[in-house]
Amino acid sequence: MGNLEDYRKEIDSIDKELISLFEKRMNVAIKVGEYKKERNLPIFNGKREEEVIEKNINLLQNKDYSDVTRSFFEKIMELSRSLQANLINEDNNILKENLKEETKIGYQGVEGSFSEEALIKYFNNAINTKNYEEFNDVFKALENNEIEYAILPIENSYTGAITEVYDLLVKYNFYIIGEECIKIDQHLMGLQGSNINNIEEIYSHPQGFAQSKSFLSKYENVKLIPYHNTAISAKLVSELKDLKKAAIGSKRAAEIYGLNILREAINDKKDNHTKFIIIGKELKYDDESNKVSVVFSLEDKVGTLYKLLRNFAENNINMIKIESRPNKHESWKYLLYVDFEGNLKDNLVKNALELIEKNSGYFKIIGNYKRR
């Protein structure tokens, strides 16, 4: 029996081989992507991927490794698809092809907000935008045809789901058409001449406070004032002209509203990202759409959750996220939001969703779009 150092050396040797093989596999994945691009073929092929996974599991001498082998190849294939997606459709989405100059897009906040930053990243050439104070205001604007699309935050990698947006999606019966993800760096900012040790009040959206708990805990005497949006907070501090007030927001917001950054990157988690969704009134998807979002009711009965979710496993569908929210119309009843890999044209996806719809009191497809 060897010692720990011997085992580590053996692992290092194996890792070198794995890196070489991984690089070769990704190189081949790019070639496959180029082939699909030339022939306009979809990236995702659930049946093919399942065949590959089963084939490799059957090669195992020790079948105890079956589950971890499945997870390993699922991750490898996810990375391969990501490379192919970047190659085939790096900057395109189903909206950009038909986006007109007069197409109006709404977001929550003001100029300099993270929502506006996500909008710019996703749409590139969108110049006709309109901002609103609250999330509900954005949904109302879409309902009243003031805007054609909207972009809203749905989840932060550190603080989790933005539940109000989930609830509004069901309330207004809209669809997710796309998603965008941006890195979030929260900065403490104040007027020129202000000093961090003299700050008495800090304004921010609650998410800004939640993402910066560790830093803020050092300033127990400072009053934290929740506000509509980080960029609106920066705008307010700029207008109040008070050296004792500060805001939390983006570097771009500080530049727009003439504020000085008192402390950079105060967010606890440095790998801090927020996912945004693009919503519209109609369900839109194409062959490149590889992520599906659905919502369905969950009865308060033993085994209900298992019976519904097993339809994904039995159809070889990889679930990405599950979010439970109270049903606003019935006490102690819940709505389950599920994101999973797939395309609504795929037969396995159709089969799973038909079974779930059949066994749910409420069911809705929220969207089928390209995963970022």
Among the options 276, 296, 312, 340, which is catalytic?
A: 276
User: How many other CB atoms are there within 10 angstroms of residue 3's CB atom?
Assistant: 7
Distance separating alpha carbons of residues 237 and 190, to the nearest angstrom: 7
| Amino acid at the residue 129 | T
- 92 phi, psi to nearest 5 deg: -100, 155
Among the options 135, 159, 174, 274, which is catalytic?
A: 274
Distance separating alpha carbons of residues 252 and 109, to the nearest angstrom: 14
Report residue 201 as tokens. Answer: 């009040």
Report residue 270 as tokens. Answer: 């440095």
Distance separating alpha carbons of residues 266 and 270, to the nearest angstrom: 9
Q: Report CA-CA distances (Å) from 187 to 24, 207, 208, 227, 280.
A: 41, 13, 9, 16, 32
Find the helix or strand (DSSP H, E) in which 106 lies: strand 105-108
Distance separating alpha carbons of residues 349 and 44, to the nearest angstrom: 12
Distance separating alpha carbons of residues 230 and 368, to the nearest angstrom: 30
| Amino acid at the residue 64 | D
Tell me whether residue 276 is one of the annotated catalytic residues. yes
**Matching residue, tokens 């794995």:** 18
SS3 of residue 225 by DSSP = strand
Beta strand pairing call for 175-183 and 245-249:
unpaired
Q: Is 303 left (phi over 0), alpha (psi -120 to 50) or beta?
A: left
Distance separating alpha carbons of residues 367 and 291, to the nearest angstrom: 8
> Closest Cα to residue 179, out of 155, 157, 160?
155
> Closest Cα to residue 129, out of 114, 151, 160?
151
Report residue 275 as tokens. Answer: 């996912």
User: How many other CB atoms are there within 10 angstroms of residue 258's CB atom?
Assistant: 11
Tell me whether residue 73 is one of the annotated catalytic residues. no
| Residues recognised as catalytic | 274, 276
